[in-house]
Amino acid sequence: MLKLLEHLRTREQRSLLMSGLRRIVVPLTRNTNGHNVIQHCFKLFSTEDNKDILDVVADNCLSIATDRNGCCILQQCLAHSHGQARDCLMAKIKANALVLSQDPYGNYVVQYIVGLKIPHVAAKLVAELAGNYVLLSINKYGSNVVEKCLRELDQHFWLPIVEEIINSPYFLMVLQDPYGNYVAQSALKTCKGEIRHKMIKHIHAHYAFLHSHPYGKRVLARTKWSKQCV
C-alpha cells in the first residue's frame, strides 16, 4: 500500500484513492500498521489532497484522540494541515477539551494544541476548560494539561487558571493531592509579583495541614517559607 501511494502522480489518482480511504480512515488510525498509511499520505500529499482524511478525523475526533495510535495520528493531522481544514480540526478538539484532558491519550492532543501557542486558539481552550481547573489538577492526566498551560502560555492566559485554583474552596485538596501538588509547584514557578504573593499567603494559611503531609510539604518547600514564619 505504501509503495502504491508513492506512485500516484495525478490529482485524479489521488482523488480516487482518497474516496476509497475515507471509508476506513477511523479503523486505520487505530491500527498499528494502518496508521502508517495515513502518515504516508500526509508526507506525500497536500492538505487539499488529504481533505477527505482530515474531514473524517475531525468528525470522529473524540474516538480517535482517545486511542493509543489515534492520538498520534491526530497530532500528525494538526502538524500537516493548514487553513480551514486545520481550523475545523482544532475547533472539534477544543469542544471536547475537558473530556480529552482527562484521558490517558487524549491529554496529549490537548497539550499539543497548547504547545502551538496560537493566541486565539489558546484563549478559546482556556475558556473551554474554565471552571474545571481544580478537577483537572487532581486528575492524573488533566494535571499534565494544566501544567502545560502554566509553563508555556503567556500570563494573560495562565493568570485566570491560577486565580481559579487559589480561590477554590478545594485549594487545600489540590495542595495535598498526588497530582495537584505538582500543579501548585508549577504555578509557583511561573507566578511572579502580586499573584505569587497571594498564592504563597493562601498556602501558608494551611500550614498546619501541609507541613507533615507527604505532598503538602513539597508545596511548602517551594514557597521557601521557614518554620520561623509560623
Least confident of 28-37, 52-61, 70-79: 28-37
pLDDT digits (tens, 9 = 90+) for 8-40: 767 777 777 777 888 899 999 998 887 788 887
Residue type, 157: F
Please tell me the predicted confidence (pLDDT) of residue 229. 40
Domain of 47 in residue numbering reads as 1-95
- pLDDT band with cut points at 50, 70 and 90 for residue 1: low
In 3D, which of 55, 58, 128 has the Cα closest to residue 97? 128
Same-domain status, 145 and 59? no
Q: What angle do CA 162, 168, 172 make, to 5 degrees?
A: 95
> What count of other Cβ atoms lies within 10 Å of the Cβ of residue 63?
12
| Region 74-90 average pLDDT | 92
What integer is the mean pLDDT of 57-71? 95
CB 142 within 8 A of CB 107: yes
pLDDT at 4: 62
So what's the pLDDT on residue 19?
A: 77
Lowest-pLDDT range of 36-50, 113-127, 192-206, 209-223 = 36-50
Q: How high is the pLDDT of residue 122? A: 95
Predicted confidence (pLDDT) at residue 222 exceeds the cutoff of 50? yes
Determine what percent of the chain is predicted with pLDDT higher than 90.
75
Say if 32 falls within a structural domain: yes
Q: Is residue 197 part of a domain?
A: yes
Query: 90 and 137, same structural domain?
Result: no
Torsion of CA 85, 89, 92, 94, to 10 degrees: -120
Confidence at residue 224, expressed as pLDDT on a 0 to 100 scale: 77
Phi, psi of 105 (to 5 degrees): -110, -40
What's the whole-number average pLDDT of the chain? 91
Radius of gyration, CA atoms only, the chain: 22
Residue 28, exposed/middle/buried by CB under 10 A (0-12, 13-18, 19+)? buried
Q: Which residues of 29-62 are buried (b: 16+ CB within 10 A; e: fewer)?
A: bebeebbebbbbbbeebebebbbbbbebbbebbb
Give the tens place of pLDDT for each residue, 103-133.
999 999 999 999 999 999 999 999 999 999 9
Do 81 and 139 have their domain in common? no
- pLDDT, position 226: 35
Both 85 and 170 in a single domain? no
Do 65 and 142 lie in one domain? The reply is: no
Domain presence at residue 182: yes
Total domains, the chain: 2
Co-location of 123 and 79 in the same domain: no
Asked whether residue 100 is assigned to any structural domain, the reply reads no
84-108 confidence digits (pLDDT tens): 999 999 999 999 999 999 999 999 9
